[in-house]
Amino acid sequence: MKRWVKMIRFIGGLCLVTLLGIAYISYLCHNSLCLAPERFSLSTRYSASASSSSSRSEVPSSPTSTTKLVVGLASTVNIESVAFKEAYEMGFDITDRDVIVFLHIQKTGGTTFGRHLVRDLNLENPCNCPRKRKRCDCFRPNTINEQWLFSRYSTGWKCGLHADWTELTDCVEGALDEYEGLAKKRRYFFITVLRDPIHRYLSEFRHVQRGATWKSARHWCGGQEFTSLPHCYKGSNWTGVELDEFMNCSYNLAHNRQTRMLADLTLAGCYTGYNTTADQLERDRILLQSAKQNLASMAYFGLTEQQAVSQYIFERTFHLDFENNFDQANATLSAQAIAELTPAQIERVRQLNSLDEELLEFARQLLQERFQLLKRRDPHFRQNWLRMVHPLKSERIDGNSLV
């Protein structure tokens, strides 16, 4: 009898230790990614052997969209994200629980756009931007610390320097809970700005050439921070780098940056085995389709090359007007850089950003769909449009004459 009691106690103790071990590992290894092998492995449902006919179906990016996206790229995001259709039908409620989240991709004109958000929106209670301070206080009316805007110039880089879609969706609610001292559910309106990939890439190259590094970026994915990503340079920065050297670094995060920053990186193993040759085509396919899907689900995005259209879509989507119009720059440093390149170098830049090229083509089509939809629903379209493209002229024209 004593032997059976001892055996039962031994088995019970063993089960208890096992359960405690599982709980401990689960706590330390969120989403099991710290147990991932050195080389990322892709889910079998994204196997390259799967036929394209079975992996694709119609997913409307807007009420009139015919763009095909991959289904099954299931995100694990647990926050309430508002899509474009819901945004323009219901608007943005600055007094309730709505938050605009700006996903700022490097060298897309996001700094200028970010300043428009905090300085130029025509609000009853505009953001307070004290002199000699980089950030503004964008609090909801009748509150002292509730933010309606999550961006560089309002909250700062609370989810990391130039946080991407994967970082922001995992971090934003906790960051606001901590900032406001209150845990609550909010509605998030994600927005971003895209740019022609060649111009953006060369602009980033020039920026890095002058000493920029973005070393403090977190690269947070799947519950852990990837701190061991290799650098393309030795020393503190890459000042003076030549374009060919910049392009030849295979793990340069400038390559296809817009696609990577808009995709759900957990679908492709985060940064584990980043840019290795094994499974690279399949990884690229997953990232591109995820980036398209996330872009289509955003409440708003603009294009650097289409400032007036971008401004119009923002104003009609959020039912908020800007006091100052977006400027369309006709000449940039990147344009000057392109003029100095050989045809072979231009082609190489294009190859390195082929995913971004396809993403931009998708974005252009989607932007036009949204523009045409909002235009049809706007009884004062011509007056609103003239205000953006010819502001002085629109002030002199009576709205009744614009028929």
Q: How confident is the model at residue 98, as a pLDDT? A: 98
Q: What is the pLDDT of residue 277?
A: 55
> Which pLDDT does position 390 carry in this prediction?
79
Condensed to tens digits (0 to 9), the pLDDT of residues 230-270 reads 999 999 999 999 999 999 999 999 999 999 999 999 999 99
The class level of CATH for 84-389 reads: alpha beta
pLDDT tens for 83-101 read 999 999 998 999 999 999 9
Per-residue pLDDT at 76:
60
More confident residue, 331 or 68: 331
Q: In this predicted model, what pLDDT tens digit does every residue of 320-350 receive, in sequence order?
A: 999 999 998 766 767 777 888 999 999 999 9
Cα–Cα dist 293/189, whole Å: 15
The yes-or-no verdict on residue 28 having pLDDT over 80 is: no
Q: Is the pLDDT of residue 58 over 90?
A: no
Which pLDDT value is given to residue 102? 98
Averaged pLDDT score across all residues of the chain = 83
Phi and psi at 224, nearest 5°, equal -145, 160
Whether 396 shows a pLDDT value over 50: the answer reads no
Active site members: 162
pLDDT at 371 over 90: yes
Of 99-108, 110-119, 352-361, 382-391, the least confident: 382-391
**pLDDT score of 339:** 86
Q: What is the percent of the chain where pLDDT is above 90?
A: 68
Report whether pLDDT(381) > 90: yes
Considering the chain, what percentage of its residues have pLDDT values greater than 70? 75
Contacts made by residues 285-288, CB under 8 angstroms, sequence distance 24+: 285/46, 285/48, 285/70, 286/42, 286/46, 286/70, 286/73, 287/256, 287/259, 287/260, 287/263, 287/355, 288/259, 288/263, 288/355, 288/358, 288/359
pTM of the model: 0.80
